[in-house]
């Protein structure tokens, strides 16, 4: 196996792992999920899902990676044999397919950033029509998405320390600073506190099964769980590191960014009297209209926001590309740079049907899904490899640790670099979640999502 290298420090790993977790899920998806599910009620349930399921699953993935120092396929193969290695392969495939659509959305953010800089976004009359036209006209989007993939590839080609770690140490602080600056501005707007109240004060009557289901799905999407990202990054950290402590910091950082994104967006939305339940169009339709209404200052605020969105997307595209690259570098000993080029081209090509399915090609926009139902290819890929694939990956990982690798070996790995771990409350908590809680909830989520997405049967 070729020399793998590794993170130079704990801070390097935490920055990279936090970058993997922080992405479009925090800035784009979290606010609209919160807006559609009661604001404060969703935030409360989301935090509970992060603590009770997301954090333990993250610890499990990092432990599997570090214990073997292998890619996802190799890690499962070493610990569980050929059958369990299929779980690793599923994670790698999910990363490839997920990145293929993720890069398309990153291209949207890139387009809007450029349009904010040149001021053209301020002159739009109908932002709904503009967004529809923008994503269906792939002439520009093709090159913006390609550019995003090129930037991602150049960083990953630099290796763990000089590429991924170095970029994370720049991007994560920059993202945080931009976010804080935008929040401070949004809180000065009229009616901003109405948005803060909606976001921070939960109405317990709004908490139902749908809220829990949405919050758990968002937790997995946001933390990049279930698709081998943290197994891959975990394989590059030292045996001296405290996995539980590092995972806690990464989880806290990701949750903080999502929380701050809501604290930015809801004051903006309520300042203009707009409904917070606008769905996926909240960021690309509602917010640009708000920036336009601000006049000249809106051009700068909009440019800063979409630059923030680009930074968030880039931290995640880096980790997603690293997953398949590490796989073939580890298993076949291929050159990292050649694998980066190969997978960058492959993933971009795989994403073209998703790009064309936003109105450019009718057969891809109205793709046969199940009887009487059609969806865009973009949505089909997202459904399979995100909404279904992520909880499936977490469910199988939990079963693997509890039934095959065994809790004894799991805890032994976590005790390395953490002498206080044996016998602690955290050990008992992780045992319970990995053995019972996570498989139960993730199994239910997987079944209900499959029934809903593929058969139109809604149980929640």
* Residue scoring higher pLDDT (2 or 61): 61
| pLDDT the model gives residue 82 | 95
pLDDT tier, 2 (very low <50, low <70, confident <90, very high otherwise)? very low
- Are the C-beta atoms of 64 and 236 separated by less than 8 Å? no
Q: What are phi and psi of 19, to 5 degrees?
A: -65, -40
Q: What is the spatial distance between Cα 59 and Cα 69, in angstroms, rounded to a whole number? A: 15
Nearest-10 Cα torsion for 273, 277, 34, 131: -100
Chain centroid to CA 203: 27
Q: Is residue 1 pLDDT above 80, yes or no?
A: no
The mean pLDDT of 37-54, rounded to a whole number, is 94
> Is 186 in a helix, a strand, or coil?
helix
The mean pLDDT of 7-29, rounded to a whole number, is 83
- Are the C-beta atoms of 262 and 42 separated by less than 8 Å? no
The mean pLDDT of 187-192, rounded to a whole number, is 90
Mean pLDDT of the chain: 91
* Residue scoring higher pLDDT (108 or 23): 108
What digits encode the pLDDT tens for the residues 256-310?
Answer: 999 999 999 899 888 878 777 777 777 888 888 888 888 888 888 889 889 988 9
Domain ranges of the chain: 10-455
The mean pLDDT of 384-393, rounded to a whole number, is 93
Q: What are phi and psi of 172, to 5 degrees?
A: -65, -50
| pLDDT the model gives residue 409 | 97
| pLDDT the model gives residue 3 | 56
The mean pLDDT of 440-451, rounded to a whole number, is 93
> Is 367 in a helix, a strand, or coil?
strand
pLDDT tier, 28 (very low <50, low <70, confident <90, very high otherwise)? confident
CA torsion sign for 16, 21, 25, 27 is: negative
| pLDDT the model gives residue 325 | 96
- The CATH number given to 10-455 is 1.10.4160
Lookup: tokens for 404? 């095959």
The mean pLDDT of 24-50, rounded to a whole number, is 90
* Residue scoring higher pLDDT (319 or 368): 319
């Amino acid at each position: 196996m070729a020399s793998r290298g590794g993170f130079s420090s704990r801070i390097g790993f935490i920055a990279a792992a936090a970058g993997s977790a922080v992405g479009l899920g925090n800035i784009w998806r979290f606010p609209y999920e919160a807006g559609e599910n009661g604001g404060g009620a969703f935030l409360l349930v989301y935090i509970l899902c992060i603590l009770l399921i997301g954090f333990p699953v993250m610890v499990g993935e990092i432990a599997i990676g570090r214990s073997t120092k292998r890619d996802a396929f190799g890690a499962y193969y070493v610990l569980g044999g050929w059958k369990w290695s299929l779980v690793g392969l599923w994670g790698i495939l999910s990363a490839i397919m997920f990145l293929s659509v993720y890069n398309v959305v990153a291209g949207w953010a890139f387009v809007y950033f450029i349009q904010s800089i040149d001021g053209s976004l301020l002159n739009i009359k109908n932002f709904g029509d503009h967004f529809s036209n923008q994503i269906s006209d792939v002439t520009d989007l093709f090159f913006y998405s390609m550019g995003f993939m090129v930037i991602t590839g150049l960083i990953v080609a630099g290796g763990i320390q000089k590429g991924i770690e170095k970029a994370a140490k720049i991007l994560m602080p920059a993202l945080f600073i931009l976010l804080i600056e935008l929040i401070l501005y949004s809180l000065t707007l009229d009616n901003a506190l109405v948005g803060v109240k909606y976001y921070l004060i939960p109405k317990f009557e709004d908490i139902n099964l749908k809220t829990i289901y949405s919050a758990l799905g968002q937790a997995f999407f946001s933390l990049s769980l279930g698709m081998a990202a943290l197994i891959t990054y975990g394989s590059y950290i030292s045996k001296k590191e405290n996995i539980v402590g590092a995972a806690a910091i990464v989880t806290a950082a990701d949750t903080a960014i999502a929380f701050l994104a809501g604290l930015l967006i809801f004051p903006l939305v309520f300042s203009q009297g707009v409904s917070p339940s606008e769905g996926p169009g909240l960021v690309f339709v509602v917010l640009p209209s708000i920036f336009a209404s601000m006049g000249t200052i809106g051009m700068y605020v909009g440019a800063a926001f979409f630059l923030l969105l680009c930074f968030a997307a880039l931290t995640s595209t880096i980790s997603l590309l690293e997953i398949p690259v590490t796989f073939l570098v580890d298993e076949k000993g291929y050159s990292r740079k050649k694998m980066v080029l190969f997978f960058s081209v492959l993933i971009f090509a795989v994403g073209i049907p998703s790009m064309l399915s936003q109105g450019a090609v009718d057969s891809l926009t109205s793709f046969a899904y199940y009887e009487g139902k059609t969806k865009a290819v973009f949505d089909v890929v997202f459904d399979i490899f995100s909404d279904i694939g992520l909880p499936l990956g977490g469910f199988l990982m939990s079963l693997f640790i509890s039934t095959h690798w065994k809790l004894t070996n799991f805890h032994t790995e976590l005790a390395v670099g953490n002498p206080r771990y044996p016998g602690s409350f955290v050990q008992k908590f992780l045992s319970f979640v990995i053995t019972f809680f996570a498989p139960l909830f993730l199994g239910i989520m997987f079944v209900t999502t499959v029934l809903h997405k593929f058969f139109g049967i809604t149980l929640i």
